[in-house]
Amino acid sequence: MIKESGWKIKSKEEIHDIYQFCEGYKRFLDAAKTEREAARFIEGYLAGQRFSQNAADERVFRVHKGKEVLAFVRGTKGLAEGMNIIVAHIDAPRLDLKQSPLYEDVDLGLLRTHYYGGIKKYHWVAIPLAIHGVVVKTDGRVIDIVIGEKEDDPVFIIDDLLPHLSRKTQDEKTLSNAIDGEKLCLLFGSLHLVGEEKESIKRGILKLLYDQYDIAEDDFISAELEVVPAFKARDVGIDRSMIGAYGQDDRVCAYAILEAIARTARPERSCLAIFVDKEEIGSEGNTSMKSNVLQIFLYDILEGMKIKADEVLVRRMLFSSKALSGDVNGALNPTYQEVHEKQNACFLGRGVSISKYTGHGGKSGASDAHAEYVGEIRRIFSKEKIIWQAGELGKIDEGGGGTVAKYLAEYGMDIIDCGPALLTMHSPFEISSKLDVYETFRAFSAFFKS
């Protein structure tokens, strides 16, 4: 553990390696702006790293509903001794289109949205936005949509009030009340369909959607269309030491796990990587950490190994496992230092951080790792000379947060929160330190090996 910036102790060659690693990370961020795109990227990557769908193989993966991925590497020790598990979530805060989104008003066509996860609504107005997702037709056909990513694609925007007119409506309200959820409507078009008297803009848009994408108005009902920032991951800082991008919470850990499991071969203990959905809305639903997908996957693994897959064995495997909940932390904000307790805060550039516990004031809702387990993690990290720090999220009564750790802890395994700290977390453009991204990857690799 260090109490100063990790950059100070990295050589020129090491800094070069860190920057190289982050080029791959940025490509992942650009290719994976939704949970479906992340799952698809991970699936393709694993397939290229000798992982297969065949549960009898030593490297096995499964994709669940296109939104969740599990990857397993068989160890030399017996499965009853447990696994080394690392989990990250691949969903991120965003705006979802409503099931009946399209309307026209004051000569403009607009789309209504319902936000997903913990956003600050003022972040989402007056920035270029893209639409990603799927539309499912009644005959089962799935139409993939990505609009706003290519250089010559149109983008979308949520109109904000001009300062000249916002005094009563916005400026005198509290920040969280200034923009109403129902006002997060996307500017979508303004041409009229010739010959139409009523709702000619809406009809014009629907005709265009039908001609170009084979989408009818009712098809929005069976669609998942996500509105995300239209910009790409970029280096931040004159020295390019940081990365700015949408969705780094928690695709930074997902990428680090992916690179770590891909390089893990014939470990002693079996390794399991879990890329899970729906963390940002409380891990609800059948692609979340609260679902039974993990058990079903482990039954498959056991059957593939010609071992009778019974509930008792799976429970014992999970009970004897040890895990990292790979998720981000909030880094000490340089200009709002007062919300942190500096002695226990995470600093950008001081390496991967571990949080013994999460939760809100009084550790409410926390996952609290045992001291013995924290000691073991310290031992693993120090053996591999990982640059790491220990920290909690903000001052005790300032707020707080949680991760999926507590849902895995229910099986009886040891688990601790571990990941890089971000600035402007949960904004459309989150900031990470390249050093922290790289050390997270190194920490996860060391854990899989342990």
User: How many residues make contact with Mn ion (CB under 5 A)?
Assistant: 3
| Neighbouring residues of 139: CB distance < 8 A, sequence distance ≥ 6 | none
The closest of 94, 56, 88 to 72, measured between CA atoms, is: 56
250, 259, 414, 417: which one binds Mn ion (CB under 5 A) = 250
Nearer to Mn ion, 113 or 248 (CB): 248
| Listed ranges 18-26, 29-37, 240-248, 319-327: which one lies at the site for Mn ion (CB under 5 A) | 319-327
Rounded Cα distance between 298 and 313, Å, is 10
Minimum CB–partner distance for residue 369 and Mn ion (Å): 17
C-beta of 89: minimal distance to Mn ion in Å? 6
Give 250 or 392: the residue with its C-beta nearer to Mn ion: 250
Which span (194-202, 245-253, 346-354, 357-365) binds Mn ion, by CB under 5 A? 245-253
Q: How many C-beta atoms lie closer than 10 Å to residue 268's C-beta?
A: 12
Report cis status (omega within 30 of 0) of the bond before 235: no
Q: How far apart are CB 250 and Mn ion at their closest, in Å?
A: 4
Question: Which one of the spans 161-169, 247-255, 307-315, 383-391 is the region binding Mn ion (CB under 5 A)?
Answer: 247-255
Cβ of residue 180: shortest distance to Mn ion, in angstroms? 23
Of the pair 82, 400, the CB lying nearest Mn ion is at 400
x/- string (CB under 5 A) for Mn ion, residues 44-73? ------------------------------
Closer residue to Mn ion, CB minimum distance, 119 or 386: 119
Report the candidate in 99, 83, 45 with the shortest Cα–Cα distance to residue 260: 45
Report which of 240, 237, 242, 238 is spatially closest to residue 252, judged by C-alpha positions.
242
How many residues are present in the chain? Answer: 450
CA dihedral 257, 262, 264, 266 (to 10 degrees): 140
**CA atoms of 300 and 176, how far apart (whole Å):** 47
Asked if residue 249 binds Mn ion (CB under 5 A), the reply is yes
Using CB under 5 A, which of the segments 27-35, 179-187, 244-252, 286-294 binds Mn ion? 244-252
Name the closest residue to Mn ion (Cβ): 250
Cβ-based nearer residue to Mn ion, 79 or 369: 369
CB proximity list for 389: less than 8 A, separation 6 or greater: 1, 2, 3, 346, 347, 350, 351, 352, 353, 354
Q: Which residues pair with 223 in a beta bridge?
A: 135
Both tokens assigned to 122: 């003022």
* Residue from 37, 43, 226, 327 in contact with Mn ion (CB under 5 A): 327
| Beta carbon of residue 88, minimum distance to Mn ion (angstroms, whole number) | 8
Smallest distance from Mn ion to CB 339, Å: 17
Instruction: Write out the residues near Mn ion by the rule CB under 5 A.
Output: 249-250, 327
